[in-house]
Structure 1
Amino acid sequence: MKDVEVGTLPGGFPYLAVGSGRPLVYLPGFTPEHVNPSGLPARMAIRSVRPLASGGWRVYLVNRRPGLVRGMSMAEIAGEHAAAISAHFGEPVALVGHSTGGTVALQLTADHPEVVSRVVLASTAYTLGPVARKAQWEMAHRLAERKPGYHLLAEGFTRNPVLLRVLRGLMWTVGNFGPWPLNPVDMLAMIEAEDRVDLRARLPEITTPALVVAGARDYFWTPELFTETAELLPNGRLVLYPDAGHAVNVSRRFYRDALAFLAEGGASRQSG
C-alpha cells in the first residue's frame, strides 16, 4: 500500500489516508483497539474507503484516540475529534461515520457544526437500537476479560434461525483465538459512552446537510429509528435499502449514493 499515508491527527488520533482532493474524514465502526491497523486488517480497511477516494476525495480513515478514560461522555469524545479536525485541516470537512463512528459523527455535527460541511451517517441513528445496546455491551466486557464475545453480535445480522446458529458458531470460533485488546479501557470507554447517547431532542437544531444510509435488515437498530433520525434532521434525507443489513458501508450502492450526496456540496474536486 505504497499510496497510503499513515499518520496521527493532533491529539493522538491514528489515521490512514488515501486519494487526492478535498478532505473527507471517515469514522469507522467498532474497533477493539484504538490504533492504525496493519497487515490484512489495514488492507481491508483501505479497500473499504478507496471507492470514496476514487470520487475525488482525500479520505482519512480516523480511529478513536488511545488513552480514553471510562466515564467520558460522547460529547467529550466528539469534542476531541472536532479539535483534532480543526487543527489538522483548518476548514470544514465532509464527514462519513459508520455504526459507532456514525454515533460520533452525529454528536460531533450537533455540537460542532462549524467543523462539518456535510455528513453521511451509515448504519446508525440518534440512539442505539435494542439489539446493538445489549450485544455490544456484553461483547466488549467479555473481550476485556479475554473471553470470546463476537458471537454475541450475530443476532444483529440475521433473523434466520439456521443461519443464526451457524454464524454464532463461526464467530465464537474466530473470537476464541483472539487477539484480545491490549488496552480494553479504550474499548470499554467508547462503548459505555455510546450506550448513554440519545440525541433525538437535538436533531431539529442540526442544520448541516445529512444523509442517513441504512439497511432494513440491520437488526442492531430498527427501520423506524433510521427513519425518525432522517425525518427530524432539518436537512436530512434517508436511503433505506430493503434487502441490506449492517454492512451497507461496503456496498456499491452506498458508495454511489454517498458520493452523489457529498458532490452536491461542490466539495469534491481533484487537487492540482
Structure 2
Amino acid sequence: MNTSTELGHFSTDLPYLAFGSGKPLVYLAGFTMTHTVPQPGAQRRTAARMVAPFVAAGYQVYWTNRRPGMPVGATMSDVAAEHAEALRDRFGTPVPVLGHATGGSIALQLAIENPEVVSWLVLAGTAHSLGPVARRFHRDLLEAAGRGRSAMHRAAPALTRNRLLQLLLMVPLWIAGRFDPPPKDHSDMKAMLLAEGAFDVRGRLGEVRVPTLLLRGARDYLCTPERFHETADGIPGAQRVEYPRSGHAITTKPAFFHDVLAFLEGP
C-alpha cells in the first residue's frame, strides 16, 4: 500500500492532505475549530488511519478542510462554490466526494448546485439541515469561543440520551477542551458554524442527480433519524445504511469502509 502524503492547496486556497496514489477521492472533513489539515504527529496519524482502507483500495484520498480566512456571513452556497471551482481546476472531471458531518453538509450543497464536479456522493452523519442537538451544541461552541473557552463538554447530549452518562462524560470532555481550546481568532470557526446553522436544503433534495449513499449511526443524536430518512427519501435513487450500535463517529468502523467501497466500486 502506498502511504505517501502530499500537503497542498487547491486553487481556491482550500487546504488538503492527499494520502496514497490512484483514483481521486475527495474527503470533506467534519467540523474543526481551525481550517487546517491534520498536523504532523497524532493528528496526522489519526487521519491516515481514517482513510487507510480507501488508500489500500487504490484511491488517492484528498483530506480537505475549509478555506482559512472564511468571512463571517459566507453561506453554505458560497462554500460549495469554492469547492466546485477547486475540484474543477484540479481534476477537470467529476470525482467521488465523501463528506462527514459538516463536510457532508458542504458535499450535499455541492452536489445540488455543482453536480458537474461530483461523480458519486457519500454523506455520513449528515442530513438536509441541523437537528436541535446540533444547533444547541453550535450555539454553545460560539458562546464559549467568544470567552476564549472550549465547550466540548456540551457535546455530551450528542453522545448519549442517558442523563447520568451525560454528566459523567462532561468531565473528560471538559478536560479535553482545556488542552484543546479554540484559537484566539475564532472568526473562521464562527463563519463555518453560522453558515451551517443557516443550511437547509430539504426543498432541493430532488436536484441531486448523482448516485448517493447516506450512512448514519442509529445513536447519532446530532443527525436525527427523521432528518436522515427525509434526506434519503428526497434524493432520487439514494441508498442508505444505519449502524444500530454506533453514534456520530461511524467513519472509523470497518463496516463503514466496506459499505462505502462497495458503493463506489458498484455498477
Query: Contact between 2:3 and 2:55, CA under 8 Å: does it hold in 1?
Result: no
Q: Secondary structure at the match of 2:223?
A: coil
- SS of 1:58's partner is strand
Q: Specify the SS of the correspondent of 2:230.
A: helix
Q: Which residue of 1 aligns with 2:200?
A: 198
Q: Is the 1:149–1:175 contact (alpha carbons within 8 Å) kept by the matching residues of 2?
A: yes
Question: What residue identity is the alignment partner of 1:27?
Answer: L
| CA drift at 1:2 | 6.9
1:143 deviation in Å?
A: 2.4
Give the counterpart letter for 1:61 in structure 2. W
2:43 is paired with a residue of what secondary structure? helix
Q: CA deviation at 1:132?
A: 0.5
SS of the aligned residue for 2:51 comes to helix
- Partner Cα separation in structure 1 for residue 6 and residue 146 of structure 2: 30
1:22 pairs with 2:23: yes
- For residue 70 of structure 1, the aligned residue among 66, 69, 72 is 72
Q: Which residue of 2 aligns with 1:8?
A: 9
Partner of 1:270: none
Question: How big is the alpha-carbon RMSD for the aligned residues of Structure 1 and Structure 2?
Answer: 1.4
Q: Check whether the contact 1:136–1:152 (CA below 8 A) recurs between aligned residues.
A: no
Whether the 8 Å contact between 2:102 and 2:196 is mirrored in structure 1 is: yes
Aligned residue runs from structure 1 range 1-272, under 5 A: 3-38=4-39, 39-264=41-266
What is the Cα deviation at residue 246 of structure 1? Answer: 0.3
Deviation at 1:90, TM superposition (A): 1.1
Q: Is the 8 A contact 2:123 2:215 kept in 1?
A: yes
8 Å contact 1:143–1:180 — kept in the other structure?
Answer: yes
SS in 2 for 1:59: strand
Name the CA distance, whole Å, in 2 between partners of 1:94 and 1:69.
27
Query: Displacement of 1:19 after TM fit?
Result: 1.9
SS of 2:98's partner is: strand
How many Å separate the matches in 2 of 1:184 and 1:206? 33
Give how far 1:54 is off. Answer: 1.4
**Which stretch of the first structure deviates more once superposed, 37-46 or 63-72?**
37-46
How many residues of Structure 1 are paired with residues of Structure 2 in the alignment? 265
1-side partners of 2:107 and 2:166: how far apart? 30
Q: Alignment partner of 2:97: what SS? A: strand
Q: Distance in 1 between matches of 2:229 and 2:120?
A: 19
Inter-partner Cα distance in structure 2 for 1:128 and 1:167:
23
Q: How far 1:18 moved relative to its partner?
A: 1.0
CA 1:82–1:141: 2 relative to 1, 3 Å: farther
Q: Residue 32 of structure 1 aligns to which amino acid in structure 2?
A: M
Cα offset, 1:166, TM superposition: 1.6
TM-score (norm 1): 0.94
Shift of 1:144: 4.0
Cα offset, 1:22, TM superposition: 1.1
Shift of 1:148: 2.4
1:183 to partner: Cα distance: 3.2
Displacement of 1:57: 0.8
Question: CA contact under 8 A between 2:150 and 2:181: conserved in structure 1?
Answer: no
Deviation at 1:164, TM superposition (A): 1.2
Runs of 4+ off more than 3 Å: none
Q: Distance in 1 between matches of 2:12 and 2:129?
A: 27
Give identity over the alignment, percent: 45
Residues 183 and 81 of structure 1: CA distance in aligned 2, closer, same or farther (over 3 Å): farther
1:129-177 superposed Cα distances (whole Å, 9 cap, x missing partner): 1100111221133124311211111111111223211211111111123
Separation of aligned partners in 1, 2:7 and 2:146: 27
CA deviation string 1:64-106 (max 9, x = no partner): 0101000111001110011011111111110000000000000
Measured in 2, the distance between the counterparts of 1:182 and 1:87 equals 33
**Aligned AA (2:30):** G
- How far, CA to CA, are the matches of 2:160 and 2:3 in structure 1? 37
Q: Could you list the runs of 5+ residues in structure 2 that have no partner in the other structure?
A: none
| Structure 1 residue 235, shift from structure 2 partner | 2.2
Q: Judge conservation of contact 1:211–1:261 (CA < 8 Å) in 2.
A: yes
Between the aligned partners of 1:230 and 1:178, the Cα distance in structure 2 is 35
